[in-house]
């Protein structure tokens, strides 16, 4: 059930039946010369949409811009402050709660969003709205390790495979070699154990980490399938667990 496609009388039924709502949260940020700016929100949206379809959960409209200020030197990157994202997603959760649907999963597509979403989730739970952060690539870290030979870096083999499966028209495979030649081996840059790579451009001149050259739509399909399965399983557990069990415990007697 996609909220945006329903009328309000239909939404009333859907809100009662869904049990759990899924909110895809992504980013619009550079992903090298070979992947689209929408990579992160496209992946989060695809996973959430498929999980909602299979499990009968309520799919909320995607939040397409996140915490991406560290990519700002690359053209087209958009960002909001972390505090803005936290307040914004909490507002969505509170409005949903006012309609009676109190269980929510943030389906996160971008690492830079994780702190803001986690803070929002903790705050919401204290208010009686159990919210959780599904960081999809962390949930399927084992599958990624098994399938992706070149690691899971930003705009590398894993993300290229995922985009190739969900939006093949958006892939610039003719740019893979260029991306690989200019890619950083790992995320960040440290000197004497101190992180000094605050912006992506400090360590990755083309904006990518890891080579996309071994990516394939089939690898993307397998990773996404695993991510959907885990999200469906978690959301089912959430739907079945009584609200009281999810909320913070009272003081010790």
* Residue 229 CB contacts under 8 Å (≥ 6 apart), including other chains: none
In the complex with Zn ion, which residue's Cβ is closer, 40 or 143? 40
Q: 90 or 158: whose CB is closer to Zn ion?
A: 158
Q: In the stretch 50-69, what mask flags binding to Zn ion with x, by CB under 5 A? A: --------------------
Residue nearest to Zn ion (CB): 40
Burial 62-86 (b: 16+ CB within 10 A, else e): bbbbbbbbbbeebeebebbebeebb
Sequence-separated (6 or more) residues with CB below 8 Å from residue 97:
128, 129
Shortest CB 171 distance to Zn ion, Å: 14
Where does this chain touch Zn ion (CB under 5 A) — which range of 9-17, 31-39, 185-193, 221-229? Answer: 31-39
By CB under 5 A, which span of 3-11, 34-42, 179-187, 238-246 interacts with Zn ion? 34-42
CB-nearer residue toward Zn ion: 96 or 162: 162
Residue 40 vs 50, nearer CB to Zn ion: 40
Of 39 and 200, the one with the shorter C-beta distance to Zn ion is: 39
Of the listed pieces 18-26, 40-48, 68-76, 232-240, which binds Zn ion according to CB under 5 A?
Answer: 40-48
Q: Where is 163: in which H helix or E strand?
A: helix 157-166
Count of positions on this chain that bind Zn ion (CB under 5 A)? 2
Least distance from Zn ion to the Cβ atom of residue 155, Å: 6
| Closest separation in Å from C-beta 40 to Zn ion | 4
| CA pair distance 85, 76, nearest whole angstrom | 19
Burial class (CB in 10 A: 0-12, 13-18, 19+), 120: buried
Pick 57 or 137: Cβ nearer Zn ion: 137
Task: Please give the Cα distance from 25 to 48 (Å, whole number).
Answer: 10
Check binding of 40 to Zn ion (CB under 5 A). yes
Contact 214, 149 (CB under 8 A): yes
- E strand or H helix that includes residue 24: strand 21-25
From the CB of 109, what's the least distance to Zn ion, in Å?
A: 7
In the complex, minimum distance from the CB of residue 235 to Zn ion, in angstroms, rounded to a whole number: 23
Residue 179: CB partners within 8 Å, gap ≥ 6? 32, 33, 34, 155, 206, 208, 211, 212
Please state, in angstroms and rounded to a whole number, the distance separating the CA atoms of residues 25 and 80. Answer: 13
The answer to the question of residue 157 lying near Zn ion (CB under 5 A) is: no
Instruction: Report the residue number, 55 or 210, with the smaller CB distance to Zn ion.
Output: 210
Return the residue matching tokens 């399965």. Answer: 229
**Closest CB 220 distance from Zn ion, rounded Å:** 13
**Which chain residues interact with Zn ion by CB under 5 A?**
39-40
């Amino acid at each position: 059930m996609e909220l945006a496609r329903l009328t309000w009388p239909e939404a009333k039924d859907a809100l009662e039946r869904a049990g759990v709502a899924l909110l895809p949260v992504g980013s619009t940020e550079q992903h090298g010369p070979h992947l689209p700016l929408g990579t992160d929100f496209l992946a989060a949206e695809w996973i959430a949409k498929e999980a909602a379809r299979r499990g009968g959960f309520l799919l909320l409209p995607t939040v397409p811009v996140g915490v991406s200020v560290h990519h700002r030197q690359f053209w087209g990157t958009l960002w909001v402050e972390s505090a803005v994202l936290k307040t914004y997603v909490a507002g969505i959760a509170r409005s949903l709660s006012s309609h009676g649907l109190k269980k929510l999963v943030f389906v996160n597509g971008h690492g830079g969003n994780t702190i803001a979403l986690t803070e929002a989730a903790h705050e919401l739970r204290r208010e009686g709205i159990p919210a959780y952060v599904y960081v999809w690539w962390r949930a399927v870290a084992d599958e990624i390790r098994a399938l992706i030979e070149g690691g899971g870096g930003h705009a590398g083999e894993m993300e290229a495979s995922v985009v190739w499966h969900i939006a093949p028209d958006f892939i610039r495979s003719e740019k893979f070699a260029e991306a690989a030649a200019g890619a950083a081996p790992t995320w960040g840059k440290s000197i004497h154990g101190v992180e000094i790579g605050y912006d992506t451009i400090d360590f990755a001149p083309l904006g990518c980490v890891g080579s996309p050259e071994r990516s394939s739509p089939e690898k993307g399909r397998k990773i996404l399938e695993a991510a959907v399965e885990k999200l469906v399983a978690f959301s089912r557990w959430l739907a079945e667990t009584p609200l009281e069990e999810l909320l913070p415990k009272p003081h010790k007697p």
